[in-house]
Amino acid sequence: MAVCIAVIAKENYPLYIRSIPAENKLKFHYMVHTSLDVVEEKISTVGKALVDQRELYLGLLYPTEDYKVYGYVTNSKVKFVIVVDSSNTALRDNEIRSMFRKLHNSYTDVMCNPFYNPGDTIQSKSFDTMVSGMMLQAC
Amino acid sequence: MADNIFFEFLHMEMVDYVYKMDVSREEHEQVKMNAISTLENMGFRVGQGLIERFTKDTPSFKDDLDVMKFLCKDFWVNVFRKQIDNLRTNHQGTYVLQDSKFSLLTQFSNRKQYLLEAPRYLAYTCGMVRGALSNLGVDSIVTAEVSLMPACKFQVVIQRS
Amino acid sequence: MSRQASRASESKKMNSELFTLTYGALVTQLCKDYENDEEVNKQLDKMGYNIGVRLIEDFLARSSVGRCHDFRETADVIAKVAFKMYLGITPSVTNWSPAGDEFSLILESNPLVDFVELPDNHSGLVYSNLLCGVLRGALEMVQMAVDVKFAQDTLRGDNVTEIRMKFIKRIEENLPAGEE
């Protein structure tokens, strides 16, 4: 479903990035980096225009020719970015939302692992498994 | 769900341990500070984790007062099974939270010795509060005082960068 | 989103996440203070012992459990009453030795290890070792010397968490002369 999943710290550096296929890694890293500007814009707009829109899910950040990039920000200002293939038109908004929910739940579990230091890159087997589940597509 | 008394004993044992670890140091005053800050830092990390869980489904916060109200109601109820009894502020970044029956002090009577030692049993919670606020983007200094067991007051002073 | 305060029971139920995270903070602090896992395990056992000798008083006061006549009864009380009261779980009692002096507690879940993933450099850590000390200390206060250790641990890759308890001997109470 997803071709790239990223978790970004509130200081805007990556805590976790995974993408498939491997050769597009750099391209996705760049895409995630660019998307952060859009995220910043969206969360600051909330204060101005959409006063009551205090949702964590940010929706579609921007579409490119081949991909769609979605964003989500937690109350601790950690950002999640999911990139999906544009050709995957079957993927609906609520499915994306549910992917973000899963990410958020797993991230919260990582935060509660006493051996994890906030700010470190995420190195958790169960987090990896959850992300793998969202990236592998049954052919 | 664990029983509160097991937690209270765990907390007391934890405090004793941290103080014992520092006993090898020479100056007594130095000892107290280090043990307090060790406990505070332990609480800080736990506060970060707890607040992450508790704010998973909440909308984002409007301002500092919004955050403090959440701390006094939702956070305190989730953690200590009751709300903060009284919240006061000078509207200039200082908040005083009163808990008339603080969960971690129920094992102590009002003997002078316990009152003097109370800060060591509050350090961990102060750290939790600071950690919770920090993860929501609010930097603060948190202190606590006890005048009559088991009531205590937490003071939160928000730091502006 | 905010949980209802539990009004059901008289005893003060606590937030299990606070318990779990506090225990985690303690273990990681011990790991910082001590060079090796063995030392940490020892400290956890010692601290558990200190807690156990006090917890037993609370247990006896609140559970209205009478004197146990044999080790089997003790096992049942530990699993069905004590674990339930203090950890909210009911392990099963199995694997009795032929002599009836040794048994296992199998824990389906263990609130102490929620969210915990042991890093590779702590493969020797018995994360929940505090529990062994608690059991040892508590039973000592009711005149039983026991040996308690973890035989299996889900944190270290086993399928279940198993605590093995062995009865060593009865500790004689100090009775005044003339009594039996």
Of C5, C16, C19, the CB nearest to B77: C5
State residue B43's pLDDT score.
Answer: 98
Contact A114 C118 (CB under 8 A): no
Q: How far is B137 from chain A (nearest CA, A)?
A: 7
Q: Tens digit of pLDDT for each residue in C15-36? A: 789 999 999 999 999 999 998 9
Query: ipTM greater than 0.95, yes or no?
Result: no
Residues for chain A: how many in total?
139
Mean pLDDT throughout B77-86?
Answer: 94
C interface test, pick of A75, A104, A111, A115 with most C CB neighbours within 10 Å: A115
Complete domains list, chain A, with CATH: 2-137 (3.30.450.70)
Indicate the pLDDT class of residue B27, thresholds 50, 70 and 90.
Answer: low
Set of chain B residues whose Cβ sits within 8 Å of the Cβ of A10? 137
Q: How far apart are CA C130 and CA C150, in angstroms?
A: 11
Q: Please tell me the predicted confidence (pLDDT) of residue B113.
A: 82
Q: Which residues of chain A does C24 touch, with a Cβ-Cβ cutoff of 8 Å?
A: 112-115
Nearest to B128 by CA among B160, B90, B99, B161: B99
What is the least distance, in Å, from the CA of A135 to any CA of chain B? 23
Q: Which of B49, B60, B62 sits opposite A112 (nearest CB)?
A: B49
A56 contacts chain B (CB < 8 A)? yes
Residue C1 scores a pLDDT above 60: no
Chains that touch A (3 or more CB pairs under 8 A): B, C
In tens, the pLDDT along A83-104 reads: 998 887 777 888 999 999 999 9
Output the pLDDT for position A88: 78
Please, which pLDDT band fits residue B29 given cuts at 50, 70 and 90?
low
CB B5 to CB C16 under 8 A? no
Minimal-distance CA residue of chain C relative to A124: C117
How many C-beta neighbours within 10 Å does residue C51 have?
A: 24
Considering CB atoms only, which of C17, C20, C117 is closest to A125? C117
Q: What is the pLDDT, as a whole number, of residue B129? A: 98
> Bigger pLDDT: C180 or C96?
C96
Q: Is B69 on the interface with C (CB under 8 A)?
A: no
Which of B135, B136, B139 is the best mutation test for A, with the most CBs of A within 10 A? B135
CA dihedral (C50, C53, C58, C62) positive or negative:
positive
Per-residue confidence (pLDDT) for residue A55, from 0 to 100: 79
B108-141, pLDDT tens digit by residue? 887 888 888 899 999 999 999 999 999 999 999 9
* Predicted pLDDT of residue A91: 79
Residues A40-44 have a mean pLDDT of 83
For residues C105 and C81, the answer to whether their CB atoms sit within 8 Å is no
Nearest to B46 by CA among B149, B134, B151, B114: B134
- Give residue ranges of B with CB < 8 Å to any A CB: 45, 48-49, 51-53, 55-56, 58-62, 135-137
pLDDT bucket at C9, cuts 50 / 70 / 90: very low
Tens of pLDDT, residues C52-105: 999 999 999 998 888 888 899 999 999 999 999 999 999 999 999 999 999 999
Report the C-alpha gap between B124 and A81 in whole angstroms: 35
pLDDT value, residue C38: 97
Q: Of B28, B155, B42, B161, whose CA–CA distance to B98 is shortest? A: B155
How many whole angstroms separate alpha carbon B18 and alpha carbon C123?
A: 24
Cα–Cα distance, B76 to A116 (Å, whole number):
24
Distance of alpha carbon C76 from alpha carbon A29, whole angstroms = 57
Please write the tens of the pLDDT for every residue from C132-171: 999 999 999 999 999 999 999 999 999 999 999 999 999 9
Domains of chain C in start order, with CATH, are: 35-118+125-170 (3.30.1380.20)
Phi/psi of residue B96, each to 5°? -120, 125
Q: How much is the mean pLDDT over chain A? A: 87
Report CA torsion sign: C120, C122, C123, C126.
negative
Distance CA C122, CA C41 (A): 11
Q: How many interchain CB pairs under 8 A, A with C?
A: 29
pTM (2 decimals)?
Answer: 0.91
Return d(Cα B13, Cα C48) in angstroms, integer: 9
Task: Provide the pLDDT for residue C10.
Answer: 38
